[in-house]
Structure 1
Amino acid sequence: MKKLIVSTLRKGSGKADTLTIKQIDKLASYYYHLNPDSTLYYGLLEISLSKKTGYVLGLADGASQIALVNSFRGNYDESANRYNAALKLYQQLHNNKGIGESYKGLGRIQDFLGNYDAAIDLYKKALAYCLKTPDETDDGECYNRLGVTYDNKGDFSEALDYYFKALLIDIKHNDQNAAATKYSNIGVIMQELELYPKALTYYNRALAIWEKLGDQQGISTVCQDIGDLYISQKDYKHAISYINRAYSIFKRLNDTDGLSFVYYDLGLYNYYIKHPDVAVRYLEMSLKLAEQNKTRYVKAYAFVGLAMVYSWDKNYQQAYNYAIQAKAIGSELNSLIVETDASLQISTALAGLKRFEEAYHEHEVYTRLKSELQHSESIHKAMFYNLEVDFAKKQSELVDRQHKKEEDYRKRIANQSKENLISAIIIVVLAIIVSVYYNAKRKQQHINQLLGEKNNEIIRQQEDLNTQATKLNELNSLKDRLIGVLAHDLRAPISTLRGLFGLMTDENLTGDEFVKMTPKVFTKLENTSDFLDTLLFWINSQVDGTKNKTVSFSFADLVSRELKHLEDKLQQKNLSIQQNISPDAIALADPSSVRIVIHNFLTNAIKFSKRDGVIEVSARVENEELNFCLKDHGIGMSAEYLNTLFKSHVNSSAGTENESGTGMGLLFCKDLIEKQKGKIWAESVLGTGTKLCFTLPLGNKTI
């Protein structure tokens, strides 16, 4: 193409027709991912030739190419001027595709500057114009840019929704480079949600595609992301190899925006391996490029990193100054992650400066922000699994449609084969065209071979998608079960706390009564917080697939803590506890999981016990395993109801004083106990009470 352009320009003494200018524009676009300098050169050449020929579309396209390179290099003012000039020209031409591209470019600039709402508005304008064009890939790029901006804004659910929409379009059109971008972007969100194995899976998909295509920009970006991921997991050996690879490519491409991220990661890496001087140098380099490129998000994290290093070096005043600047930027960007990290560093620095009251106040702010962040992450995790399930379903439907097209094509080929057979009979009779028949037959065999290979590939893809859909459906079911557990086990303690705080705000409450009630409220808060931490630990172990922390522990201690946690509920019904726990009752299991089961047993016993009743708790060693049982003398249950207790969701009956439940508790208990290599069962007679039991492996008695 370059030879053709040079030849045309020589013949025309420096002038060119519209066809040549369009070819120059294609070259400019082609070189963007390989060599941005070449894109700049061809963009300027396109403008120069378009001015001579009065070709308005060429002027607009050339301005867009130059704007893209300036945006890539952080020259945002120049880039915005070029995009606005191109936008006016495209509007004159009523060119919807060009208008959409201009709005996308302007939106990208606002995204880099941290003006996320403005960027989203521009991207949605771009999407409106792209939807008017027949090229569906333009829609996918708009969805992707919206996803990036919502990610930067911290709205991960919206970001994932747009990423999966864009990815589906890429797969439909077999656009591997664009699909790699979406895999990388989804990986970034998985990393921010601390779903590290899933993040690495998406990153590796992107890296494999970009290495196959030789896309240096993509390779450098995903290598930086993987390096950052390994730093988060404290795997510094793997982290530095990916970071160094990203650095060499960004340096060669003169990508200052990418270099600012790499310098930040190098700063963190040297901080964690205890090279503070080197860490400060890299973080200052990151900060300098972030200020030059006006990327406030990177600037904020450079400040956080510097605060961490200076606090470690006991230069608390300098650490405080950087942390304050980081928090200010985080507030401007409305980034909960940045604000949380900055608050922790401010608290640490204030404590080092012996400004303890301010440090305590800031630590309370950090605790509140961290809680909000964890709550937000739990919601986004649940949304992610829903979106992934929906995406897998749509992808499966897309494969089915493609399979049907292949079937139709196969039928047409089959019909063609019949016609060829008839022709072959005629050809045999007509010896003159034997050679033509021979060639047609060979061609048919080749087509059949290709179809067979394609069919086998589609069958393999279908099997993979079916397996993936099954796993995702299981995760979706788990999400619903988690919500039921939270509602079941947190309603009662929160209601109790509400009542206690209501009493404490009563104007008729005396000072002595207030003082006596305060420890009780504090104890209740600690118990509720402790149980919430245990429950969230279990939820994360289910979602993230982490292994149980199996240890030896005393059953008596665990039961005592749970009885104290439920002391108020026992007192409300005036229930007494009879304990018969053997001193050698030592279990080998995950204590957090077992505690959830005991808690559920106790709450069920309290719920179905009559006022002034007795609950019997026993634990003893039988047949080389620990046998735990909890018996109440309440209302009991029928044989039919008992038979369904551990098999599926049941309709929870009201307690003796109209207490309610989810019907899912014992189903989860069965899941937990069986994961600890134990067995669980129940015995009950209607009207005489219920006995709930489980076994666990014996633990080491010298704990």
Structure 2
Amino acid sequence: MSKFDLSYIYLICCSVIFFGMLQVTPALSFQQELHRIKADSLFKIYQTTFEDEDRLLILSELVQEIHYSDSAVKYYNEAIELAKLVKNKELEAQNINRLGVYYRNMNLQEEALSMYEQALEISLKSGEKVQIGHSYNNIGQMYYYKDYFDEALDYYEQAEKIFLEINDENGLGYNYTGMSLVLGSLGRYREALEKINKAIALRESMGQIRQVMVSKFNKADLLLDLGNFEEAENDIIKLYEYGINNDKTRAINALEKLVELKVKTGDHKAAIQYAEIAQQIHEEKPLSESMIEIYQMMNQIYFNLGDLEKSQEYQTLLQAERNIIKSEKTKVHLAGITIKKQKDEIEFLNRQKELIEQNEQFKLFITYGLVLLLMVISVAYFTVYRALQREKINLAKLSEQNKKIETQSADLEKLNRMKDKIFSILAHDLKGPLNSLSGLVKLIQEDNLTKDEFISYIPILAENLGNNNILLENLLVWSRSQMNGLEVHNSKLDIQNLVQKSIEFLFHSGYYKGQVMVNDVDKNTYALADKNMIDIVLRNLLSNSLKFTRQNEHITISSYEQNGHIVMKVSDQGVGIKQKNINRLFSTEFFSTPGTHQEKGTGIGLILTKELIEINQGEIWVESEYGSGSDFYFTIRKA
């Protein structure tokens, strides 16, 4: 089947779909239904197509239509392998870039960044300018998410040069929209407005209505920061009108900003009206992230107005949405673990395939060597002697290959033991919350639970499930460090602010029992280290202190300077540590003891903490007397 035949078939399918849907599909679901039917048609064509190049073209179109489905990863990987087979570097890089977008939407940022960097490497070698530009753009976006604004701006500027060189207006629309966010975060508002205005003009000229609304929404955010409320309101209202007719999620996003704008201008009546409209749409099309912001603002408005009943009503709604977000984050964490496991299995199978191919090549090489040896023996003794020497070399290579295989076998055995340990921890520590959830569902099914009882159980259940966040985060980071190593991204850290965020986070954990957590770090304390790693260290040390302290006991986080380093100290008035156990805390044996409320641990937290501090060129130690509390110290470089 030729490319002309494929294009002709696809055009007919799309025409039939389009005219049929104009008569039977409401405007709101038109695009979704169109994507679904197009995907079905492409899949049927794909099943009856046998030429690799044609299959690649169809598959690349198909994955774009099913981008948000669970099966997208499988077809992306198939498309990437087909592109490698037919040596189509452009579609190989394009599908790797799109797979990165899928991982980004799943909040798997490290996997997404890895995909973008692979796509950039392939595109630079092949000279595919469009994919080079998109790869730079995507990498810039990931650095923006990590708050590395200077690095993000550098990648966006490289993408801009490429898109200008090839006159890619669609790419420039994405580029200027993303770059404006980075410039705004750097406080360069004039340049940010120039970029977003260019994006809007380009997208209007191309008739990209939805993308124009997105760019205008980003512009409104910049105008809000600058206090230009009137112009910002006009753009936000346009997005709201577009969203009401086409995309309810965008409508709620717009209403969130309208509530914020009215709060900033002191128009509480209008803010309340917009919040009520958002609530109505939210019941039809839930969007917890925006509703949390709206409920927080409504809670504060009614509190300031003295209407405590209304304030409490919005506080209740706020907590309910937070519980939903916690549940979704738990699902995303588990999905991420599954995807990572699948990815590791694919990599293992690929390595195994390579070893088999190497072994076959080696066997072939030995066969040719033996044939050659027999021929040489019949000619002369001298030739035989040289062949024997050559055979010795071959045997040495064989021995080296066997050693490599033995080493790889040992590595695989180590990874398998590590996997068993992780699964053991997951099965043990997730079992309790899941049993609670199962029991609650059973009571509901048997009508043994009143509505008030059900509502009273929800915060407890959400808290139990939320307690696994720190465990899952520790497991993911630790397993990544064991398998692939961790890369440090140093930045200037505001230590007092970082400590405060960790304290606020742990107020909602299952380890908090009414203790008093004190942030005694000076305001102008800055360090040079990896923000995410130090955040994990602080959470682990604080959760450890919470575990071994009781109600009203104090936990104090302080710091001081010493020899060009910041020395951090986490002190508690808890039960302390027995002398015989101190040396076991930072070992690799997963050592743990029950807390004051018999809380169980995995022992992985302090092991990971020690690894992260050492990766950041610091030291960690503990001083404790049993029955008199504990002091944990660690050092990081001063900024």
TM superposition score normalised by structure 1: 0.53
> What is the letter of the counterpart of residue 118 of structure 1?
I
8 Å CA contact 1:171–1:179 kept in 2: the answer is yes
2:214 aligns to what SS in structure 1?
helix
| Aligned position for 1:674 | 614
Query: Quick one: structure 1 residues 556 and 320, their matched pair in 2 at CA, closer, same or farther if it must change by over 3 Å?
Result: closer
| Aligned position for 2:66 | 150
- Offset, 1:632: 5.4
Deviations 1:47-76 (A, max 9, x none): xxxxxxxxxxxxxxxx435346x58xxx94
Q: Measure the CA separation in 2 of the matches of 1:666 and 1:318.
A: 50
2:632 aligns to what SS in structure 1?
strand
- Offset, 1:357: 2.0
Q: Measure the CA separation in 1 of the matches of 2:421 and 2:63.
A: 24
| Aligned position for 2:118 | 202
| Aligned position for 2:489 | 547
Query: Quick one: structure 1 residues 80 and 655, their matched pair in 2 at CA, closer, same or farther if it must change by over 3 Å?
Result: closer
Between the two proteins, what is the percent identity of the paired residues? 11
User: Which of 93, 102, 118 lines up with 1:189 in the alignment?
Assistant: 102
Query: Quick one: structure 1 residues 403 and 139, their matched pair in 2 at CA, closer, same or farther if it must change by over 3 Å?
Result: farther
| Aligned position for 2:359 | 404
1:274 aligns to what SS in structure 2?
helix
8 Å CA contact 2:176–2:199 kept in 1: the answer is yes
Deviations 1:605-637 (A, max 9, x none): 22xx7x99x778696869757473646564855
- Offset, 1:205: 3.4
In structure 1, stretches of 5+ residues that fail to align are 1-24, 30-38, 40-62, 82-109, 212-217, 249-258, 291-298, 332-338, 429-447, 499-504, 508-520
Query: Quick one: structure 1 residues 284 and 635, their matched pair in 2 at CA, closer, same or farther if it must change by over 3 Å?
Result: closer
- Offset, 1:394: 2.2
User: Which of 201, 211, 216 lines up with 1:281 in the alignment?
Assistant: 201
User: Which of 530, 540, 543 lines up with 1:600 in the alignment?
Assistant: 543
Pair 1:320 & 2:237 matched: yes
Pair 1:244 & 2:177 matched: no
- Offset, 1:238: 1.6
- Offset, 1:410: 1.6
Q: Measure the CA separation in 1 of the matches of 2:9 and 2:31.
A: 14
> What is the letter of the counterpart of residue 614 of structure 2?
E
User: Which of 56, 65, 74 lines up with 1:161 in the alignment?
Assistant: 74
User: Which of 344, 355, 358 lines up with 2:253 in the alignment?
Assistant: 344
2:594 aligns to what SS in structure 1?
coil
Residues 448-527 of structure 1 aligned to structure 2 (within 5 Å) = none
| Aligned position for 1:645 | 585
8 Å CA contact 2:255–2:275 kept in 1: the answer is no
Pair 1:628 & 2:569 matched: yes
Deviations 1:157-198 (A, max 9, x none): 532233234434555676656544433332333555555642
8 Å CA contact 1:147–1:163 kept in 2: the answer is yes
User: Which of 37, 50, 71 lines up with 1:118 in the alignment?
Assistant: 37
Deviations 1:403-430 (A, max 9, x none): 12322332342244246537867xx9xx
User: Which of 382, 385, 392 lines up with 2:340 in the alignment?
Assistant: 385
Query: Quick one: structure 1 residues 660 and 138, their matched pair in 2 at CA, closer, same or farther if it must change by over 3 Å?
Result: farther
User: Which of 421, 424, 427 lines up with 2:376 in the alignment?
Assistant: 421
User: Which of 290, 296, 301 lines up with 2:211 in the alignment?
Assistant: 301
Query: Quick one: structure 1 residues 330 and 537, their matched pair in 2 at CA, closer, same or farther if it must change by over 3 Å?
Result: farther
Query: Quick one: structure 1 residues 244 and 111, their matched pair in 2 at CA, closer, same or farther if it must change by over 3 Å?
Result: farther
Q: Measure the CA separation in 2 of the matches of 1:681 and 1:664.
A: 16
> What is the letter of the counterpart of residue 489 of structure 2?
K
8 Å CA contact 1:164–1:387 kept in 2: the answer is no
Q: Measure the CA separation in 1 of the matches of 2:632 and 2:114.
A: 37
Deviations 1:305-328 (A, max 9, x none): 244446748063454233442465
Query: Quick one: structure 1 residues 118 and 479, their matched pair in 2 at CA, closer, same or farther if it must change by over 3 Å?
Result: farther
1:628 aligns to what SS in structure 2?
strand
User: Which of 655, 660, 668 lines up with 2:600 in the alignment?
Assistant: 660
Deviations 1:639-682 (A, max 9, x none): 3x554321235364434543323332322332344355443344
What is the number of equivalent residue pairs in this alignment? 500
| Aligned position for 1:357 | 272
User: Which of 687, 696, 699 lines up with 2:635 in the alignment?
Assistant: 696
Q: Measure the CA separation in 1 of the matches of 2:7 and 2:505.
A: 70
> What is the letter of the counterpart of residue 321 of structure 1?
K
> What is the letter of the counterpart of residue 15 of structure 2?
D
Q: Measure the CA separation in 2 of the matches of 1:123 and 1:536.
A: 39
2:71 aligns to what SS in structure 1?
helix
> What is the letter of the counterpart of residue 367 of structure 1?
E
Query: Quick one: structure 1 residues 239 and 330, their matched pair in 2 at CA, closer, same or farther if it must change by over 3 Å?
Result: farther
Q: Measure the CA separation in 1 of the matches of 2:170 and 2:18.
A: 22
Query: Quick one: structure 1 residues 413 and 181, their matched pair in 2 at CA, closer, same or farther if it must change by over 3 Å?
Result: farther
| Aligned position for 1:77 | 15
Q: Measure the CA separation in 1 of the matches of 2:374 and 2:571.
A: 79
- Offset, 1:201: 0.9
Q: Measure the CA separation in 2 of the matches of 1:417 and 1:141.
A: 46
In structure 2, stretches of 5+ residues that fail to align are 20-28, 145-151, 181-190, 293-324, 384-389, 441-450, 454-458
The structure having more radius of gyration, on CA atoms, is: 1
Query: Quick one: structure 1 residues 359 and 247, their matched pair in 2 at CA, closer, same or farther if it must change by over 3 Å?
Result: farther
1:280 aligns to what SS in structure 2?
helix
Q: Measure the CA separation in 2 of the matches of 1:228 and 1:120.
A: 25
Query: Quick one: structure 1 residues 538 and 562, their matched pair in 2 at CA, closer, same or farther if it must change by over 3 Å?
Result: farther
> What is the letter of the counterpart of residue 194 of structure 2?
K
Larger mean Cα displacement after TM superposition, 669-678 or 404-413: 669-678
Q: Measure the CA separation in 2 of the matches of 1:352 and 1:277.
A: 21
